[in-house]
């Protein structure tokens, strides 16, 4: 059976998921997270991808980004994957693959769901019972988006900038979004879209379209 083809459109945000092979850890020490973020920043800049949100879990990664061109994301992920695997294998005296095949992606068709995806990504450590709140987790974009912590990796999406007239107002409005719990239906559809490389254009009770490029 052919693999589902990804939907990628220039300037349209994508939710990216990449998992460790057989769910093995992709990060074994703080320096691993730091190295990945440094490499992500370099690769994103070189390939024309604007990163809006991210979380690095122990055995997988979530990214929310907007590409400049059709091939920006695939080129970025290939470069990032190769560089990080080389680093990780050397540092931890191992060989072989680290990632689980191709990364998965979901096109955010409607900007109304962009902030939903922000919350989904940054709440991952909370759902995994690793921390009590998203700001307690070091390896995500939440402290930058919600409290203004410096993070040169991030490029705010236009929808984020419209949350308030200045940085303080935007951060307050952003934190307020996290007062609302994501429903089980919303979580299910986000996971279905991400795992199936399907565009995300309708939450609530609508089914996601089974389309691909």
Give 139-163 pLDDT, tens digit per residue.
999 999 999 999 999 999 999 999 9
- Give how far the C-alpha of residue 70 lies from the chain's centroid of Cα atoms, to the nearest Å: 18
Task: Identify the CA nearest to 30 among candidates 111, 79, 82, 91.
Answer: 91
More confident residue, 194 or 206: 194
The residues, any chain, with a CB within 8 Å of residue 47's CB and separated by 6 or more, are 67, 72, 73, 75, 76, 79
pLDDT at 102: 85
CATH class of 14-195: alpha beta
User: Average pLDDT for residues 182-198, to the nearest whole number?
Assistant: 79
Tens digits of residue pLDDT in 39-95: 999 999 999 999 999 999 999 999 999 999 999 999 999 999 999 999 999 999 999
């Amino acid at each position: 059976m052919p693999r589902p083809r990804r939907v990628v459109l220039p300037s349209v945000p994508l939710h990216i998921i990449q998992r460790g092979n057989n769910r093995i850890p992709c990060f074994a020490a703080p320096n691993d997270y730091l190295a990945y973020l440094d490499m992500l920043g370099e690769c994103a800049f070189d390939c024309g991808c604007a990163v809006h949100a991210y979380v690095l879990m122990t055995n997988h990664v979530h990214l929310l980004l907007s590409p400049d061109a059709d091939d920006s994301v695939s080129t970025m992920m290939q470069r990032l994957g190769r560089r990080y695997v080389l680093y990780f294998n050397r540092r931890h005296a191992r060989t072989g693959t680290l990632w689980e095949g191709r990364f998965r992606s979901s096109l955010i068709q409607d900007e109304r769901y962009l902030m939903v995806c922000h919350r989904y990504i940054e709440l991952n450590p909370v759902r995994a019972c690793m921390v009590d709140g998203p700001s307690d987790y070091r390896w995500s974009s939440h402290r930058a988006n919600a409290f203004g912590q410096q993070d040169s990796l991030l490029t705010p999406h236009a929808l984020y900038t419209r949350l308030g007239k200045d940085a303080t107002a935007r951060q307050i409005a952003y934190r307020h979004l996290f007062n609302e719990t994501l429903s089980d239906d919303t979580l299910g559809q986000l996971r279905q879209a991400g795992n199936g490389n399907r565009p995300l254009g309708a939450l609530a009770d609508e089914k996601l379209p089974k389309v691909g490029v």
